[in-house]
Amino acid sequence: MSNNFNLTAQVRDLQGKGASRRLRHEKMVPAIIYGGHAEPQSISVQFKDLVKCLENEAFYSHILTVDVAGTVESVVLKALQRHPAKGFPMHADFYRVVAGEEITMRVPLHFINIDSSVGVKKQGGQFSIIANDVEVRTLPANLPESIDVDVAGLELGQTLHLSDLKLPEGVTLTELSLGENHDLAIANIHHIEEMKDDSAE
């Protein structure tokens, strides 16, 4: 993993909507750290620091470092509450990670060689993404920021499924662990006319 994300946090003693509102006026975002082998801890982080981190896609699927009053925690972002209209972060949930204990995270899919794929370049098809990310289970040290999906050889009429993904060592897909019926489609190349007909219907 090439990115390093470090946040400095303060211990948050006061709870409730009023306290959270005051924090936001002070350009702080209320948050919580939970999980692992310790009690949940209420914290607050700088608004500008969190916003800057959220601009990077890797932040959502990366082991983060949070310094809480001198105590360093390794965490992942588990949930983020945003303002319904303006979209800025209002609350964050961080989950502690423990070395040697598996975690479950959603990881983005990066489709590469779309324009040069057989089905698009040579056969005139249209590429469609069905899933933008997948849920994986792995040890923290093996957590990938993203999974590359090379579609250069994908032909017209073909569909890629979860089982077609090339996963890093030690990484498994939670859906596939549920059985063959959960081998979901993630992308395909189809006739452009098919899309027009479907839209008309």
pLDDT tens profile 96-141: 999 999 999 999 999 999 999 999 999 999 999 999 999 999 999 9
Provide the pLDDT for residue 77.
Answer: 97
Question: Quick check: 192 pLDDT over 90?
Answer: no
Residue pLDDT, tens place only, 7-16: 999 998 766 6
Provide the pLDDT for residue 113.
Answer: 98
Q: C-alpha angle with apex 157: 154 to 162, nearest 5 degrees? A: 60
Provide the pLDDT for residue 14.
Answer: 62
Provide the pLDDT for residue 98.
Answer: 95
Coil, helix or strand for 142? helix
- DSSP label at residue 168: P
Residue pLDDT, tens place only, 18-68: 667 778 779 999 999 999 999 999 999 999 999 999 999 999 999 999 999
Residue pLDDT, tens place only, 104-115: 999 999 999 999
Percent of the chain with pLDDT over 70: 91
Provide the pLDDT for residue 16.
Answer: 62
Coil, helix or strand for 65? strand
Provide the pLDDT for residue 4.
Answer: 86
Provide the pLDDT for residue 1.
Answer: 46
Question: Quick check: 17 pLDDT over 90?
Answer: no
The top-scoring range by mean pLDDT among 21-35, 77-91, 187-201 is: 77-91
Q: How far is CA 57 from CA 53, 60, 110, 146, 189, in A?
A: 9, 6, 11, 9, 26
Read off the pTM.
0.84
Residue pLDDT, tens place only, 133-186: 999 999 999 999 999 999 999 999 999 999 999 999 999 999 999 988 999 999
Q: What are the φ/ψ torsions at residue 17 (nearest 5 degrees)?
A: -65, -40
